Amino acid sequence: MSESPVLTHASDGVLVITINRPEAKNAVNRAVALGIAAAIDELEANSELRAGILTGAANTFCSGMDLKAFVSGEVPIVEGRGFAGLCEYRTAKPLIAAVEGFALAGGFELAISCDLIVAAEDSRFGIPEVKRGLVAGAGGLVKLPKQIPLRIAKELALTGDFISAARAYELSLINEVVAPGTALEAAQKLAARIAANGPLAVAASKEIVDKAQDWHSDEMFANQQVIAQPVFTSEDAIEGATAFAEKRAPQWKGR
């Protein structure tokens, strides 16, 4: 396998981003953070790419921050992007986490920074930072309580205990639980379903869902209109309606 700490592969409109440090259980160092940020830039800039998948090499998603690098003074943060070049950044295009093995500490925070999560049934999730005298500062304490019940989020934060994929699915934290070794394949199928849709509509829908969490009820429809209206007046909107009437697959132009 290549020595690059982050690998990318594009196919059928989907960019697969792989953390490639299997010898360190895909722990995030500065090189990984920069690599993920660069891959996200590629995803955002390439109009042929409709969705991304974040995964890890050798059947492990990510064990979190590289503590050896941290002790030596290395910080795996990208300015404006946060931990691992992603945790404080909101992508314009959908990003799916394909989880095998462990998604722990910063690895868990990476997963919950993605829009959707597909996980192998033997995978494990957790923010064990308190066991190491640290805090889950890359989103575990601020994002997780918005994604699962508050008391469960507190339990994970204060005990540092792990939960199974089955428990994460029960909590509606992940979208799909699949057989071990098939998370990437399942994520690719999910990404293909997204990529088949109108790119303007997908981007606007994601932006609205993301931003609406912070909108007050008396402003939400006005804010939505600003984002949605350009989609309704686009060439893709006409093409989608025409293709439906003609019973054929639409040919999206992204405009």
Catalytic residues: 109, 129
What pLDDT does residue 129 have?
95
Question: Which residue in 69, 66, 6 sits closest to 42, CA to CA?
Answer: 6
CA distances from 211 to 73, 91, 94 (A): 35, 12, 14
Q: How many CB atoms lie within 10 A of CB 37?
A: 20
What pLDDT does residue 155 have?
98
pLDDT in tens, 110-130: 999 999 999 999 999 999 999
CA distance 249 to 91: 27
pLDDT in tens, the chain (255 residues): 458 999 999 999 999 999 999 999 999 999 999 999 999 999 999 999 999 999 999 999 999 999 889 888 999 999 999 999 999 999 999 999 999 999 999 999 999 999 999 999 999 999 999 999 999 999 999 999 999 999 999 999 999 999 999 999 999 999 999 999 999 999 999 999 999 999 999 999 999 999 998 999 999 999 999 999 999 999 999 999 999 999 999 999 999
What pLDDT does residue 2 have?
52
Crossing angle for the helix pair 199-212 and 220-232, nearest 10 degrees? Answer: 170
pLDDT in tens, 175-186: 999 999 999 999
44 contacts 87 by C-beta, under 8 angstroms: no
**Which are the contacts of 59, defined by CB distance < 8 A and separation ≥ 6?**
100, 101, 180, 181
pLDDT in tens, 138-179: 999 999 999 999 999 999 999 999 999 999 999 999 999 999
